[in-house]
Structure formats: structure tokens, C-alpha cells
Amino acid sequence: MKLFYREVEEFTERDELGVDLLRKRLLGGAAVILIFFSLIIIRLWSLQIHNGDEYKKFAYSNRVRIQEVAPPRGHILDRKGREIITNRPSFNVVMMREDSHDIEDVLKRLSPILKVDISELWQQIRDASSTPRYLPITLKEDIDWETLAYLENHNQNFSGIRIEVQPVRVYNYKDLAANSLGYLGIISKKELEKSDREIYSGTDLIGKSGIERLREADLRGGKGQRFTEVDARGFERNQLKRLDPLPGREIHLTIDVDLQQIAEGLMAEGEKAGAVVAMEVKTGRLLTLVSSPPIHLDEFIGGISYKNWNALRDNIRNPLLNKVVQAAYPPGSTYKMITALAGLALGVIDKDTVMYCPGYYAFGNRTYRCWKHSGHGAVDLKRALGESCDVYFYQVGQWVGVDALAEFAKKFGLGQRTGVELEHEKAGLVPTKDWKRKRYNQKWHEGETLSVAIGQGYNLTTPLQINVMTAAMANNGKRMKPQVVEKVIDPDGKVIEQLEPIVEYDYEVNPWHMQLVREGMVEVVHGKKGTARKLAIDGLKMAGKTGTAQVVKVSRYRGLRDDEIPYKYRDHAWFTAFAPADDPEIAVTVLVEHGLHGGSGAGPIAKALFEEYFREKLEKLKADESEKVQ
């Protein structure tokens, strides 16, 4: 009996163990199932709720293509509202690599249509290999209408190929003021890294030089967007909506197209190199900004070729320089007005001071020659300026000293940047004793002052500085800041910026001293022996100064005819003037590189500008005189 109960107890214990094991297994299985479904629920919550908006955007982007629409760049106009630079649409062929299923096949069939060698197309793809695949790669810019129509009608045959519309510049007056207005180019990697990525992307055009670069923020406008539905192969099906771009602002310049064209045309005759500047005396408005020879703006559309760039770079007349502000030359005899004012202000000369010019001046162990080898004889200040007697100003400079000359030169804007809104302006150079000691660790020699007094030696000035100096002479010592932007207008027609004349420096010059210098400048043009007497205009009283700036020592080519001197060794020609002399309105400065003589090389260009600017006044005067005769 005991054995029986023992067996029953053992059986019961085994049964309870089996139930416990089964219960544990059921609980374990339930836990696994619960964990599994929990993970699914958590994942679904993450996908649909926590990150739902993000994945919704991904799904939307697979169905909808969002394209940036380039804005029309702001127009650039002259002072009278004439459009100098506008826009037109350029149709560019681009590839979206993420939408192209067989790039090799597409390029092979696209090459003959675009008339571009397939190796060049592949090079474009390779150059963009480090950029994201969703960014477009431009294969060809500005295709013709026939090519555009073919690609639009057969777009299903070219996966990943799209047509993008990009506004490009139209130069209504060709290369007018090209070096000052500048050009556009595709944004570089370095520029892109420094830019606002919300504004610029890798294929955008930006201003590379001139006003186009300096006024980029005004001109660029704001991009629009185009939302297009695409299929699984990346082909566009329907346009869903469009956000129009915001056009750039209009820039109205102070430049006068008529004056600019006349000056550029005259500089182009004989392929002259140099600069022409005209400015309103009382306001600082720049009416002409000519740098010759100019760059050709059409060559920069779509990127300039290496061949054309090398041709510009190697040209001995330096078309890449904006010579208005980026090239500095000895001022020659235009500097004599500074020497005269300094002499008068310091009392070393007066109206009646007379010096004798035998054609040379002996100082120390050297002889300094006058441009007129036979000499001018006895000359006073008026005649010395009118006939540009070197001997007279050698002595004035010697009595004044180089440091005093520098002081007066700087008061009239020489040796310092004018602050004009043009790129890379040079400061020029007005030498002093301290400058030479610091620059060369040498003592200043008094003989060097004589060269400085007639605008030679270490003196260096830009054409704009000479123009500013001339305008200050006309404005009784008041130096205006030269300005090139008249006003800026936003797309709604609102004027958001307007030119206001700025007095940069007001030198309280003795009116009598200024009157004496002006009389000498009038003598230059209207005197019987004035160096610019052939430039006189009937009915217009002008005050001017010629200048010849030596490139090499005169002795090297003495006795040779002008045409026998190599071009690069010929003297530079200056002419600067203002008119009317009694109530000045504009100042004009002309610099012709290696033009030899100011009166003949540079003067006629200035004369043509004065005749155009005062054309109505001169015509009326002529008509009145005709009526009197009748």
C-alpha cells in the first residue's frame, strides 16, 4: 500500500513539473510575440508619426520635382534712362543624373543633336562627379530654336535631360563702359563656399567684376520655384504650381551714353590705349568712364574660352585693366597747377614773379631741360602755365620743397583713393622725404624735387585722380567724391537709393590764388601760344592743361621723329580741362598711353566731349549770331 502511495506521489510531482514547464513555455512565447508586435508598433509610430513629415517629403519628392527658376537680373541704365544692359532667355540643356537610366546611351544620342563631341559631354559629367546627383549638369548653353524644339518633342527618348531657362545679359550698346560695368560668370566653388547657400547654388551666374559684382545684391533678384509631377522614370508629366521669381533692381548710372560713345569711338581710332573721364564739377557725377581698349562682353557669356582669355592677358595694351582707376601714370605737366598753387600759398611767387627760361635750368651738377629747347624767355605765372614752361616750375618746386608739394597734392586728391564705386582702385603716389627713406632707406635729393614739380619722378596718378583734381580747381578747392550710381529702383518702382553729392574735402584756398591759376589754364587753350590753342571752341571759354609724361629718359631718343620711337617708349599724352571757365559745369580728363603730346594726342577727344555736352548752348549761340548778322 505504501508502495502504491509513493508511486502516486511521484506521478503527481512529475505532472506538476510538466505543467510548470508548459506554463513557462507559453509565457515565453507570449513575451516574444508581445515584444515582436511592440517593435512593429514602435516602428510604425516612428515612420508615421515621429518622422512622418520627413518621409512624406521624400515620397513627395519622388513624385514631384521642385526646380529653381532663375530671376531676371536687374537692368542697368544710363542717366537718361536708356537701357545699357538688359536680359533675354537662354535655353540650356542640362542632365539630372539621378533621373538618367543609361548616361552613356543618352550622351551618345545627344552628341550629334547638340553638335558637341561626346568627349566634351563626358568631361562635363566627370567635372561634376563630386557634386550631388540631384544637381543639374549643364551640357550646352543657349541652344537655338531648332534644337530646342527637337528636344522638347522627343524628351521621352532622353532620360535625365531637361531644358532650363536662364536669363542672360543683352548688351544694347555692345562694349559700352565694359571695364566699369563688368561681366557675369558661373559661381566658383570658392565663391559658393563663402556665399549664402539659401541664395546661391552651384550653377548660378553672379557678377564677376565691375558694377555687376559690386551691385550683385541689388541686381540678382530672388529665385522662384516650379513644382512638376514626374513619373517613375523621371519624366515630367504635369506642372502643379509655380512661384514666380522676383526681378532684380534697376541700377541707373550717372554715365551719359552719348558722351561715352563719342569718347570710346575716338579712342578706338588708331587703337588708342588709355582712359577718358568726365565729371560734373559741382556734384561728382561721372559722365564718362572709358578704358581703352575695352574687354568684349559677349566673349564672357557662358564663360570665356582659354584662347580669348590668353589673348586679353597677353595684349600689350592691357584691356583687362580698368585704366580709369587701376593704372597709374606720371601726371606730367598737369601737376604744374599744384606747384603753382603751392608757390602762391607759401608766398614764394606772386602774379608778377618773372623768371627767365633759356631752355634749361642748371642745378647742382646737372642740367634740367625745358621741353622747348630754345627757351621761353622771360615768363610770369600766367604765361608759364599757358606755355607749360618747365624752367619756371623747376624753380618754384625748388623753393617750395617736396613735402609742401605733397601736402597740396593730397588736398586736391592725388596720392589717395577717391572712394569711387569701382574695383581695385589704385592710390597712386605722392612722394615725400619720409616716403623715400622708408621705401628705399635713402635720403631725398633736392634735384628730385625739380622732377616732382613738373609731374615726373616718383609721381603716379590715375586718370580719375587728375579729373578729381581738375574739378576741385574748378570748384574753388571743394573736392567732390566721384560717384557712378545715380539711383536704384526696386521691382515695384520705388526709389530705394538716390545719389547725394558728397564733399570729400573743402580746401579754403585763397580765391585770388585760384583765380591766377585759372587764368593760366585759360591761357593754355585761348592764349596765342597756349599748348592747347588748337582745341579752342567758339563760344565756349575753357580752362585746361596739357601734359606729357615721360616713359624713358628723353636723351635716349632725342633727335628721332615721333614715328621712329618704339611704341612702348613714347611719352604718355594728358589733357585735362573744365568749362565754362567762369562758371564750370564739367571737367574732362584724357590720358592716351604713348600718345606723345597732350595737345594733339589727348586734347581732340576732350574737345569732342565738350562740344557734345554744350551742343545745344553752342547751337543757340550760333543761331543768335546769325540773326545779328542778318
> Are residues 394 and 366 in contact, defined by beta-carbon separation less than 8 angstroms?
no
Separation between Cα atoms, residue 268 and residue 529, nearest integer Å: 30
Helix, strand, coil in percent for the chain, rounding step 5: 45, 20, 35
For 353, counting Cβ atoms within 10 Å of its Cβ (0-12 exposed, 13-18 middle, 19+ buried), the class is: middle
∠ at Cα 219 (218, 225), nearest 5°?
105
Indicate if the alpha-carbon torsion angle 334, 337, 340, 345 is positive or negative.
negative
Tell me if residue 195 is catalytic: no
Indicate if the alpha-carbon torsion angle 454, 456, 459, 460 is positive or negative.
positive
Separation between Cα atoms, residue 488 and residue 421, nearest integer Å: 14
Q: How far is CA 199 from CA 134, 137, 194, 196, 216, in A?
A: 18, 19, 12, 5, 12
Separation between Cα atoms, residue 84 and residue 177, nearest integer Å: 9
Name the catalytic one among 159, 180, 333, 451: 333
C-alpha grid cell, residue 391 = 624752367
Q: How far is CA 106 from CA 100, 140, 144, in A?
A: 8, 14, 20
- H helical segments located in 359-456: 381-387, 390-400, 402-411, 433-440, 446-453
Query: H helices then E strands: how many in the chain?
Result: 21, 23
> Are residues 424 and 430 in contact, defined by beta-carbon separation less than 8 angstroms?
no
Active site residues: 333
